[in-house]
Amino acid sequence: MAIITTSDLTKVYGRDFVAVDHLNIEIEKGEVFGLLGPNGAGKTTTIKMLTTVLKPSGGTAVIDGHDIIRDSLAVRKVIGVVPQDLTTDEDLKGIENLMMVSRFYNVPEERARETIKELVRLVDLEGAMQRYVRQYSGGMRKRLELIAGLVHSPKVLFLDEPTLGLDVQTRSQMWKHIEEVRENLGVTIILTSHYLEEVDALSDRVAIIDHGKIIASGTPAELKASLRGDVITITVSSENDVEKMLEYRGATEVKDLGGNRVRLKVQSADREMASLMNYIVSSGISVTGINVQKPSLDQVFLEYTGREMKDEEPGDFRSMMMRMRRLRR
């Protein structure tokens, strides 16, 4: 059952800058849905409309039965938001921040304390509650932000760039915590990211968004499968062996790359490997190297947009200005 349905959700900034362009998505109850796109794709704008911070210019969305425009108060009660910019107060202790948010949501004190206790345990912040947030590391701060969005036990949680600015190791720790939140609380999660691995690791389904439009959607596996297969590159020791490799019939595409290297495109490397090895052994081919490349969402993005997904779009002056404004705040 869909818990979020958007219909032609649109945002126009100024006179004619279309940041979100007739977005139609359905998000199922209990799933983790990833919105993936480069800087300026319209992810935050989408989240802001869904969380009733920003009024759509056109279209609407329904969350848990409530319309985001007509029924925004009801929507706010069932959602939790962890915005892209940090919101917790550095001059308060961890626990003070969480209690403050709880009061803001009118959670009775007793229940707030219980919920907070569970959340703090979920993200391993037990030792940090009595410390000032100013002393937190970047990863701890992000974890605190994560649970601050959950103190009122929302049905839907929005995470806008949950690991932005974290180093690789801290990022994968954060993934683990997000997984745990989902498993233990059964909350529906909508997350945005421009890290492909992140969306790949966490999401049940993904929509790739570029210039405010969905250009591809499906499970990460489906999106990768749409690239039709894995690539196996085999290095052999002689020209003669290259000739023999080119006669292999189990691949959808076989190509001589030169330098005694042959590239095979196969449906699934896992499934193909045994018969490939058989062929190599029975044909007496001497292999010096083998490399398997699984399709990534990186490739999916490239395939659908013709562009690589970079962190910064060099020509995009507007998004650079936005970024600077954000930093100054």
- Where does this chain bind ligand ATP (CB under 6 A)? 13-14, 17, 19, 37, 39-45, 84, 194, 318-319, 322
Chain centroid to CA 149: how far? Answer: 18
Task: Say how far apart CA 308 and CA 301 lie, in whole Å.
Answer: 7
* Beta carbon of residue 206, minimum distance to Mg ion (angstroms, whole number): 16
Asked whether the beta carbons of 239 and 262 are under 8 A apart, the reply is no
Which of 153, 319 has the CB closer to ligand ATP?
Answer: 319
* Least distance CB 49 / Mg ion (angstroms): 13
- Least separation in angstroms between residue 290's CB and ligand ATP is 37
Which of 44, 173, 203, 260 binds Mg ion (CB under 5 A)? It is 44
* Nearest to ligand ATP of 139, 212 (CB atom): 212
46 binds Mg ion (CB under 5 A): no
Residue number with CB closer to Mg ion (44 or 51): 44
Nearest CA to 151 out of 170, 123, 179, 132 is that of: 123
Contacts of 116 (CB under 8 A, 6+ apart): 95, 98, 99, 102, 147, 151
Residues 95, 111 contacting (CB under 8 angstroms): no
Smallest separation, CB 93 to Mg ion (Å) = 29
Q: Smallest gap, in angstroms, from Cβ of residue 37 to Mg ion?
A: 9
Q: Which residues pair with 261 in a beta bridge?
A: 235, 258
d(CA 214, CA 217): 7
Q: Which one of the spans 43-51, 129-137, 150-158, 174-182 is the region binding Mg ion (CB under 5 A)?
A: 43-51
Q: Which does 319 bind (CB under 5 to 8 A by kind): ligand ATP, Mg ion, none?
A: ligand ATP
